[in-house]
Amino acid sequence: MNDNELGTFLRARREAVTPAAVGLPTGLRRRTPGLRRAELATLADISIEYLTRLEQGRDRNPSPQVLGALGDALHLSHADRLLLHRLAKDHGDAKVVCQSVTVPPARTVRPTVQALLDHLEPAPAVLLNWLGDIVACTQGYERYARPLGLLDGKPPNMIRYLFTDARARAVYPGWDRMADEQVAHLRDAASPHDPHVAVLAEELTATAGAPFSDRLSVPALPTRFGTELVDHPEAGRLRLSYETLVFSDEGQRLVVHFPADEATATALDRLNGRRPGALRAVSG
């Protein structure tokens, strides 16, 4: 992760907004793909010099009023506004965060969470810690994931699998979106100053290169529900809906998958050795 995430975020969002979207003339010979710095500064009612300092990381403590004005000027979504405030807070508290983060990622399961996993059988459900390690799963998930190679690591790790196992790109037709989401989960759940993140980031930057490091440098919030396609070597094409439950005290998240169509429901039933219809399809 870079040490100027607030500036990176502001610059990326500024370059993503077209002049027409904020009521400005497009004009000719624009070198900037989105808004010029001067245009954003005018819209947010701050000086160009101050915006430049924010983007370059020379000022890391903007007031809530300035953040609000920038959010309005950039037409940020609710999620992006939350992320903007979080990035500003992380910069301001960097020294405190560095001193306080010493606890390794949890690899144990709370008894009530284990009971929840037991009740979810035979649905494919997996518990991950904030580093992406697979901590526990249902038997249904094991039957689904083992043929993919997802459980081969010691410990198995979702992010490492996605970026270093050649099977992952064949398994997930939407690999780019999956990669975006998993890195966003890592960024969202852990401090950028955490030493455990640093070790994983160094490893994957060396082994996976730009596909990982480029994503790590871009602030983003993770998606906690949706639908993904999986080309399963034994069950064929699967269309799975998923929901994520976050256990913030443990720094863990539970991802539960459901068949999004009848063909997927039937395929999962075959994997689980159950009668057709045991897993009901839900609309994605």
Please report, for residues 16, 24, 77, 176, 191, the alpha-carbon distance to residue 72 in angstroms, rounded to integers and kept in the order given: 14, 15, 9, 29, 27
Please tell me the distance from the alpha carbon of residue 162 to that of residue 260, in angstroms, as a whole number: 22
Please tell me the distance from the alpha carbon of residue 14 to that of residue 8, in angstroms, as a whole number: 10
Please tell me the distance from the alpha carbon of residue 120 to that of residue 251, in angstroms, as a whole number: 21
The CA-based dihedral angle spanning residues 55, 59, 64, 68, taken in that order and rounded to the nearest 10 degrees: -20
Please report, for residues 27, 152, 156, the alpha-carbon distance to residue 254 in angstroms, rounded to integers and kept in the order given: 49, 20, 15
Please tell me the distance from the alpha carbon of residue 70 to that of residue 73, in angstroms, as a whole number: 5
DSSP 225: E
Please tell me the distance from the alpha carbon of residue 30 to that of residue 115, in angstroms, as a whole number: 59
Give residue 262's pLDDT band: very low, low, confident or very high (50, 70, 90). Answer: very high
pLDDT tens digits, one per residue of 123-144: 999 999 999 999 999 999 999 9
Please tell me the distance from the alpha carbon of residue 95 to that of residue 108, in angstroms, as a whole number: 29
pLDDT tens digits, one per residue of 165-196: 999 999 999 999 999 999 999 988 776 667 88
Q: What burial letters (b/e) apply to 214-233, b meaning 16+ CB within 10 Å?
A: ebbbbbbbbeeeebbbbebe
Strands 252-259 and 236-247: antiparallel
The CA-based dihedral angle spanning residues 266, 237, 212, 163, taken in that order and rounded to the nearest 10 degrees: 80
Please tell me the distance from the alpha carbon of residue 118 to that of residue 257, in angstroms, as a whole number: 14
For the whole model, what pTM was predicted?
0.70
Residues forming a β-bridge with 154: none
Mean pLDDT (the chain, rounded): 87
Residue 228: strand, helix, or coil:
strand
Cis bond upstream, residue 192 (ω within 30): no
Residue 35: strand, helix, or coil:
coil
| pLDDT for residue 102 | 45
| pLDDT for residue 226 | 95
Give the closest residue to 161 by CA, choosing from 185, 143, 179.
179
Please report, for residues 1, 2, 243, the alpha-carbon distance to residue 87 in angstroms, rounded to integers and kept in the order given: 12, 12, 26
pLDDT tens digits, one per residue of 11-52: 999 999 988 888 887 766 667 678 999 999 999 999 999 999
